[in-house]
Amino acid sequence: MLINILFLILGFLLLIKGADIFIESSSKIAKKIGVSEFIIGLTLTSVGTSIPELASGISASLGKHSGLIIGNIVGSNIANIGLIFGISAYLRSMKTRRKIYERDGYILITSIILFLAFSLDNVLSQLESFFLLALYFFYIMFLLKSKNTKTKKYKFHDFIQYVVDFKYITSVKSHMFRKAVNKVPSQRTESEKKIIQLFKEGIFKDIMILVISLVAIIFGSKFMIEQAVFFANLLSINESVIGLSLVAIGTSMPELMVSISAIRKKHHNLILGNVIGSNIANVCLIGGVSGIIHPITISELSVTYNIPVMLFFSLALTYFVKSKWKISRKQGIIVLVAYFIFIVLAFISGWR
């Protein structure tokens, strides 16, 4: 059993540290080879701190451990609000912005309601998973459009209009081909010089670090899922409960580190953006990718209790954001206590 504990800890460390190095090295390589900020934002920054959840979700999906997938998605979202947001608010009260409520908050609630609706038949199909993944793609495209437009504050109804009018197609075309149009013919024939320059800038080293970090992520997620299943069987607890607690808290460590750093620097909106953005990614990206690999079986307990609790925590977060546009330490304590109660009840209901 000691070996299993050590492998579990090793899995967490490899997963979290590997994800951190993977993002950093990927960003360096992308910038050196001239990839646009749009692509970097879409593939790296948008995923960001959710890479551990994504890796563990893919690993669990390949192993057909549906309980761990749902437990990880739901547990990570609740941990992000109840634990990470709760600790952050307790340590320092924070001001909020209307945009967080009127755009990202509504998109988060909508994605969870859709996730719950898809779960009512106790199966998240590949088609439903594709829909969730598409929704995440639309959200990222909309964020990038909003970021590049200073004249208008985009709201939830603007997001709906953006999707309905297929404006994301225009966004992709304009960003992907803008750089190609601006190039002059003489630059297109200097590929050999570019390759030599890249090696001088140390791109080979960056690629090796990227490969090593990817291997760390793969083995880390594999170790973690295997040991999570082992402890679930050993303690006679449903896999979903292990996913809700142990796996969810472990994969949420990057979000916690980002939030603690943001507290020190007084970047309050970064904390909220990190929590809400990560939660949207957990539902749409992790749920979407995992479900496309293999349909996810969802227990009746998750449909009637766990997912509705995730929705409740998300509604509470959006309410706190709106209340006087300031989040108090008292509200932080409330969600911390609520999270503790949720975990206790999850273990009580999860004994087999």
- Digit-by-digit pLDDT tens for the chain (352 residues) are 888 889 888 988 887 888 778 777 777 777 777 665 445 544 555 566 677 788 888 888 888 888 889 988 999 999 999 998 899 888 888 887 777 777 888 999 999 999 999 999 999 999 999 999 999 988 888 877 766 555 456 677 777 877 776 665 665 555 555 544 454 444 545 555 555 666 656 777 888 888 888 788 878 878 887 888 788 778 778 777 888 887 888 777 777 776 777 777 777 677 787 788 889 999 999 999 999 999 999 999 899 999 999 999 999 999 988 887 788 889 999 999 999 999 888 888 766 5
Q: How many CB atoms lie within 10 A of CB 348?
A: 9
Q: Tell which residue, 246, 265, 310, has the closest CA to residue 283.
A: 310
Between strands 123-124 and 94-95, the pairing is unpaired
Query: Which candidate, 89, 79, 69, 90, places its Cα nearest to that of 343?
Result: 79
Q: In angstroms, rounded to a whole number, what is the distance separating the alpha carbons of residues 29 and 52?
A: 21
Phi-psi region of 152 (alpha: psi -120 to 50; beta: other; left: phi over 0): beta
Residue ranges of the domains in the chain? 2-350
Looking at domain 2-350, its CATH architecture is: Up-down Bundle (1.20)
Amino acid, single-letter form, for residue 101? Y
Q: What is the pLDDT of residue 223?
A: 84
Both structure tokens of 26:
């990927």
Alpha carbon distance, N-terminus to C-terminus of the chain: 20
pLDDT value, residue 221: 78
Using alpha carbons, select from 229, 252, 223 the residue that is nearest to residue 241: 229
Q: What is the pLDDT of residue 335?
A: 94
Say if residues 8 and 228 touch (Cβ distance below 8 Å).
Answer: yes
Which segments within the chain are labelled E, that is strand?
94-95, 123-124, 296-297, 326-327
Q: What pLDDT is stored for residue 180 in this prediction?
A: 47
SS3 state of residue 179: helix
